[in-house]
Structure 1
Amino acid sequence: MRRIILSLSVSLDGYFEGPDGSLDWHLVDDELHQHFNDELRTMSAFLDGRVSHELMSAYWPTADANPEASSAEAEFAGIWRDMPKYVFSRSLTKADWNTTILREVDPDEINALKAQPGGDMVVGGATIADEFRRLGLIDAYRLYVMPVILGAGRPLFPASGVRSDLRLVETRTFSNGVALLGYEAGRGGE
């Protein structure tokens, strides 16, 4: 069965976005970008909310045509274009680039996707990720902790009253100071 993996960057103080939605504090150098490519190329689908999908589709479809794009960026453009995408939106009427629009997160529908053959699926975007988390649909978490304390912004996981126990399965430090913390869903001591 395919798993759903949350893969997102977060500040040391738990913010997904800085004030006013800023992402300029993300430290994605060639080493980290290549790591993202290596991880994401094995996936079978991207699961995103509307905002994340629109952000991605505004740049990645033609990023490899940009002469200033690094080789890792150009490689990711192809990965993104070719990967099946599911976008959760009540307002989108059309989405290109191998994208299926789903109106809501239906656990039965998501579990049917998980039961299909293929690689794991990656969920991105804070709002949709938190909904998946509250519904118990995330199997693994890959959090890329950026070496910055923002002091304000949009938290990755807003207060919800829903507890999620995790088990640490992976750590890695990148040369730019970013730390990967990999968790699997389930009680920490098991």
Structure 2
Amino acid sequence: MSDARFRLYMALSLDGMIADADGGVEWLNRWEDVDYGTADFMTEVDTLIMGRTTYDQIAGFGVDWPYAGKRTVVLTSRPLGAAPDGVEGTSDLAGLIAELREDGARVWIVGGAATAGACIALGAIDTVELFLMPVLLGEGVPLFAGDGPEVPLALRETRAWPNGAVGLIYDVA
């Protein structure tokens, strides 16, 4: 049996949006001054599966690649161009998941909705780790599109911060 572990780890608004109506995540900036355990989380993963829109957004921030030292696989059918070290593209998610299971990888499913949905459909999520931010965006990009299979979850942990953010960790049952 493989020791591979696939974790969906995401911040979202209370109404389930991971990005605003324009696809931006700047609405999250007001909560950046709090430690939600991300640094510890990053020590527990070695590979990232990332959607192309998320990759393009991060690359467009004009900063050094924030995931240096981690293998990052971008789901895309288009060439990535001049990608940072450790970043590669693939359009074969099923093959990638099989490879990562074989290798015992510790995987972060970074985003967004299409990536999460595709991983769910392939049974490649072991835990769902959500950070609900105390805001209703009203419209935007939902984390779950609602067209995937039913996935029973078992609540493992909750945590609340004084700023109103709530962390929820679910294991796939």
Alpha-carbon offset, residue 60 of structure 1: 7.4
Which structure shows the bigger proportion of residues in strand conformation? 2
Q: 1:113 aligns with which of 76, 100, 124?
A: 100
Alpha-carbon offset, residue 53 of structure 1: 1.5
Task: Give the root-mean-square deviation of aligned CA atoms.
Answer: 2.0
Pairing 1:147–2:149 present: no
Distance 1:45 1:11 in 2: 25
The residue aligned with 1:32 is 35
Contact 2:11-2:131 within 8 A present in 1 as well: yes
Contact 1:45-1:122 within 8 A present in 2 as well: yes
| Between 157-166 and 19-28, the greater mean CA deviation after superposition | 19-28
Distance 1:22 1:59 in 2: 11
**What code does the residue aligned with 2:20 have?**
G
Equivalences, count: 168
The residue aligned with 2:109 is 123
Distance 1:168 1:149 in 2: 23
The residue aligned with 1:82 is 69
Unaligned regions of 5+ residues in structure 2, if any?
none
Contact 1:32-1:174 within 8 A present in 2 as well: no
Unaligned regions of 5+ residues in structure 1, if any?
64-76
Distance 1:111 1:161 in 2: 20
Contact 2:151-2:172 within 8 A present in 1 as well: yes
The change in CA–CA distance for 1:109 and 1:46 in structure 2 (over 3 A counts) is closer
Distance 1:39 1:169 in 2: 16
Identity %: 26
Alpha-carbon offset, residue 165 of structure 1: 0.7
Distance 2:13 2:143 in 1: 9
Alpha-carbon offset, residue 61 of structure 1: 5.2
Contact 1:166-1:185 within 8 A present in 2 as well: yes
Distance 1:20 1:130 in 2: 21
**What code does the residue aligned with 1:128 have?**
T
The residue aligned with 1:102 is 90
Which structure shows the bigger proportion of residues in helix conformation? 1
The change in CA–CA distance for 1:131 and 1:46 in structure 2 (over 3 A counts) is same
SS at match of 1:143: strand
Alpha-carbon offset, residue 93 of structure 1: 4.2
Contact 1:60-1:81 within 8 A present in 2 as well: no
Q: TM-score, normalised by structure 2?
A: 0.87
